[in-house]
Amino acid sequence: MLLLNFSLKLKEKFFIIILLFLYIKILYVQKMGKKTRELVKDFADELVKILNKAYADELIAVFYYKHAAKMAKGLNAPNVASALEKAAKDEEEHADELAERIIQLGGEPLGDFGKIVPEANCPKVELPGDWSDLKGILRAAIDAERCAIDVYNKIIEWLRNVGRDPVTLHVIRHIMQEEMEHEEMFETILGEEY
């Protein structure tokens, strides 16, 4: 009986320790979320809207780049396709990074497929009708990258002047750097002034 009591107490102690651990963990997570919200509370809703528009841009770029990579025809098509695939992979990562930040800010990434195009800043990659027109495909990708660079440049300005949020600024700078690399990559393959 004594042994049973002792063992029950041990179990109780163990249970209480686990509960305490979970409670402290929940408190810690809530505190982090609350502090984040405090820092951005005056502009979080607007920032979520801005980031969601960029999120739509990224999803659209993934769609068109992947489609063009599959459809490109001609001698140099493998080179063009591999550049488009590389950029599409990066754009997908950008979309993930934006979605993650939107959630951290207390928002929700666009969840309605029908809203992707109307919400986007750069709604379409203007691909040529002829899939053997590789230069046309590259020009369309360059236009899309330039649109993305403009969008991120404006977001950086907004983050510096209106909604000061160093964490989002860091994310956007990193994405913009990669958009500049994409522009340069497509320009190099095009091999002529555009």
Contact set with Fe ion (CB under 5 A): 58, 91, 94, 145, 179, 182
CA distance 175 to 27: 33
Closest distance to Fe ion from the beta carbon of 111 (Å)? 20
Closest distance to Fe ion from the beta carbon of 96 (Å)? 11
CA distance 124 to 109: 20
Helices then strands, counting H and E runs in the chain, come out as 6, 0
Q: Which is nearer to Fe ion, 58 or 165 (CB)?
A: 58
Q: Which two tokens stand for residue 45?
A: 């809703």
Sequence-distant (≥ 6) Cβ neighbours of residue 131 within 8 angstroms: 68, 71, 72, 73, 137
Which stretch of DSSP H or E encloses residue 65? Answer: helix 44-71
Asked if residues 163 and 47 have their Cβ atoms less than 8 Å apart, the reply is: yes
Closest distance to Fe ion from the beta carbon of 162 (Å)? 22
Closest distance to Fe ion from the beta carbon of 132 (Å)? 24
Closest distance to Fe ion from the beta carbon of 16 (Å)? 49
Strand locations in the chain, DSSP E?
none
Asked if residues 156 and 95 have their Cβ atoms less than 8 Å apart, the reply is: no
Q: Which is nearer to Fe ion, 101 or 182 (CB)?
A: 182
Q: Which is nearer to Fe ion, 37 or 174 (CB)?
A: 174
Q: Which is nearer to Fe ion, 133 or 143 (CB)?
A: 143
Q: Which is nearer to Fe ion, 91 or 165 (CB)?
A: 91
